[in-house]
Amino acid sequence: MSTSGPTPDAVTEIAAGYAFTGPALDLGALLWDGAAHPEAAVRIPLPVLNRHGLVAGATGTGKTKTLQLIAEQLSAQGVPVFLADVKGDLSGISAPGEAGEKVQARAAEVGQKWTPSGFPADFYALGGIGHGIPVRATVTSFGPVLLAKVLQLNPTQEQSLGLIFHYADTKGLELLDLKDLRAVVAFLTSDEGKTELTNIGGLSTATAGVILRSLTAFEAQGMSDFFGEPEFDTADFLRTAPDGRGIVSVLELPAVQDKPQLFSTFLMWLLADLFHDLPEIGDADKPRLVFFFDEAHLLFNGASKAFLDSITQTVRLIRSKGVGVFFVTQTPKDVPADVLAQLGNRVQHALRAFTPDDQKALKATVKTFPNSAYDLEELLTSLGTGEAVVTVLSEKGAPTPVAATRLRAPESLMGPVEAGVLERAVAGSVLYGRYAQAVDRESAYEKLEQRPASGAAVEPQRKKEAPSMVEQVMGSGMFKSLARSIGTQLGREITRSLFGTARRRR
Ligand SMILES: Nc1ncnc2c1ncn2[C@@H]1O[C@H](COP(=O)(O)OP(=O)(O)O)[C@@H](O)[C@H]1O
Ligand SMILES: [Mg+2]
């Protein structure tokens, strides 16, 4: 902790900046002269949790525990939470914590009445890989932008993929799983499909060939399981337990750590899908859902401009639907400037300053904070584990004074629950029966297999709707029911407008 701390007056001013009147979450106690001061609580107002956040800091500084203690308090206040558990250390949120000496000491220092508590949780796994209820998406719903990202296509190929989706859509060739998409691309590159390919315009045989090969490689890596039906309904993340606490949905991702593209795009699909389904609520008393992306750098690394634009737009717009997004990563530099600018709540843990690169990152981080009474460069390199520099939004939406904080201890278990406990929780979930078993109904693959050997391949299914109508419906909040009654075409046009994704027929 810094020796050249703020003056007593400055300390009083900082403390006053966190004296909110309405419901708030407790982060910890203000830290000065090397001690935590429980009478000066550092908090975050519940209504500003849809204004997004960033938890940053070097490895081992306490980012994941910060995430955990925020998530717990959200659940306790009736807010459902989604956690992307990349390292497998978050399942413990479902079990009461263990009262060790360190935890007791920390609780005493920050004035926390520490009560071991587990929170209601559901565990998910992408495509059923690992321990969790399988989360699947159809290829159509995933859409060409996200799929291009996982297939690592360049912008030209990404556009071509968009044309292929559009073609399949107009021909009534449902793209449910990867073999559906592969069948359509294979058809277009075959002798038989040549005319169709020419009719599409702007799609070359060479590019279609590249897409086909990347699809084949993708399937060979075992990615098929993530795509198909039953598709996950993201509304299942919005549930509360019978006791009124928000359900914590933990997506167990350790098995896909070496597939960062896949997991990051899936998380974006989840967000985009939620966005499409939720009506506007503006700034409410509390968020509907708060979404935490741990190891968020994986989301942005090597992303195309189109993908980054989509993330930026999703983050910007989803706030008015009552969904907060917290990114957890090592330095703010990991997050594109346009996204960073929208993250109103900041918990910055210690940074290292060993290498010239570290130094640069440190200086850049300091610049992202409002003016303060601290020497932030010194402070950020001297914070201990589970301490951080905090600034959040006040109830009025103004940034609070920068506050050096010793954080509270999570009241649930730090680290994973035992494998057996996890397995029982998964099998015992009310959602298990709905999603456990994959279904393979007739779609593009089967239709193309069955087509008559000679003739024109497939008939157009439905005429395109006028865009003006799309615009009208988008603003009306009646999207889902309308999309359902009109059919998939219009629904897809609407939902693709944001992220290139499209909803399933329900
Ligand atoms: N708020 C906290 N309360 C209690 N212990 C903490 C806290 N923050 C960090 N720790 C301790 O530090 C260790 C590392 O924290 P962790 O959140 O896993 O770091 P990171 O995610 O930054 O790598 C934890 O296992 C725990 O022992
Ligand atoms: Mg961590």
Domain termination residue (choose one: 206, 228, 250): 228
Atom of ligand 1 nearest to the CA of 409: 3
| Residue 176 near ligand 1, beta carbon < 6 Å | no
CB contact at 8 A, 256 and 125: no
Please state the domain count of the chain.
Answer: 3
Shared domain for 237 and 353, answered yes or no, is yes
Residue 504 falls within a domain, yes or no?
yes
* Residue minimizing CA distance to atom 9 of ligand 1: 62
Residue 384 falls within a domain, yes or no?
yes
Shared domain for 291 and 202, answered yes or no, is no
Q: What is the pLDDT of residue 300?
A: 84
Question: What's the 63 CA to ligand 2 centre distance in angstroms?
Answer: 5
CB contact at 8 A, 260 and 298: yes
Atom of ligand 1 nearest to the CA of 61: 22
| Residue 385 near ligand 1, beta carbon < 6 Å | yes
Shared domain for 160 and 126, answered yes or no, is no
**DSSP line for 333-386:** GGS-HHHHTT--EEEEE----SSHHHHHHHHHHHHTSPP-SS-HHHHHHH--TT
Full residue range of the structural domain in which residue 173 is found? 137-228
Residue 459 falls within a domain, yes or no?
no
Q: Which positions ≥6 away from 108 have C-beta within 8 Å?
A: none
Nearest ligand for residue 58 CA: 1
* Residue minimizing CA distance to atom 26 of ligand 1: 62
Question: What's the 35 CA to ligand 2 centre distance in angstroms?
Answer: 25
* Residue minimizing CA distance to atom 24 of ligand 1: 62
Shared domain for 248 and 223, answered yes or no, is no
Nearest ligand for residue 297 CA: 2
Shared domain for 76 and 224, answered yes or no, is no
Shared domain for 233 and 280, answered yes or no, is yes
Nearest ligand for residue 68 CA: 1
Shared domain for 416 and 284, answered yes or no, is yes
Residue 453 falls within a domain, yes or no?
no
Q: What is the pLDDT of residue 465?
A: 40
| Residue 106 near ligand 1, beta carbon < 6 Å | yes
Question: Which of 55, 293, 385 for mutating ligand 1's site (highest number of atoms within 8 Å of CB)?
Answer: 385
Shared domain for 294 and 344, answered yes or no, is yes
* Residue minimizing CA distance to atom 6 of ligand 1: 386
CATH number of the domain residue 40 falls in = 3.40.50.300
Residue 447 falls within a domain, yes or no?
no
**CA dihedral angle for residue 124, residue 126, residue 128, residue 134, rounded to 10 degrees:** 50
Residue 17 falls within a domain, yes or no?
yes
| Residue 325 near ligand 1, beta carbon < 6 Å | no
Domain termination residue (choose one: 176, 210, 228): 228
| Residue 17 near ligand 1, beta carbon < 6 Å | no
Residue 268 falls within a domain, yes or no?
yes
| Residue 182 near ligand 1, beta carbon < 6 Å | no
Tens place of pLDDT for every residue, the chain, 506 residues? Answer: 444 577 888 889 999 999 999 999 999 999 988 899 999 999 999 999 999 999 999 999 999 999 999 999 999 999 999 999 988 999 999 999 999 999 999 999 999 999 999 999 999 998 767 789 999 999 999 899 889 888 889 989 999 999 999 999 999 999 999 999 999 999 999 999 989 999 888 899 999 999 999 999 888 877 888 899 999 999 999 999 999 999 999 999 877 667 777 777 788 888 888 888 899 998 899 999 999 998 888 888 877 777 788 889 999 999 999 999 999 999 999 999 999 999 999 999 999 999 999 999 999 999 999 989 899 999 999 999 999 999 999 999 999 999 999 999 999 999 999 999 999 999 999 999 999 999 999 999 999 998 876 544 555 544 444 333 333 333 333 333 333 333 333 334 434 445 556 554 44
Nearest ligand for residue 349 CA: 1
Domain termination residue (choose one: 428, 443, 474): 428
Q: What is the pLDDT of residue 8?
A: 83
Q: What is the pLDDT of residue 406?
A: 98
Is 239 exposed, middle or buried (CB count within 10 Å of its CB: 0-12, 13-18, 19+)?
A: middle
What's the one-letter identity of residue 107?
Answer: A
* Residue minimizing CA distance to atom 7 of ligand 1: 386
Atom of ligand 1 nearest to the CA of 328: 21
Residue 2 falls within a domain, yes or no?
no
CB contact at 8 A, 490 and 465: yes
Question: What's the 66 CA to ligand 1 centre distance in angstroms?
Answer: 8
CB contact at 8 A, 61 and 40: no
* Residue minimizing CA distance to atom 23 of ligand 1: 60
Shared domain for 300 and 351, answered yes or no, is yes
| Residue 125 near ligand 1, beta carbon < 6 Å | no
Atom of ligand 1 nearest to the CA of 65: 17
**Bridge partners (DSSP) listed for residue 25:** 44
Shared domain for 223 and 300, answered yes or no, is no
Question: What's the 295 CA to ligand 2 centre distance in angstroms?
Answer: 7
Shared domain for 86 and 172, answered yes or no, is no
Shared domain for 197 and 241, answered yes or no, is no
- The sign one gets for the Cα dihedral 7, 11, 16, 18 is positive
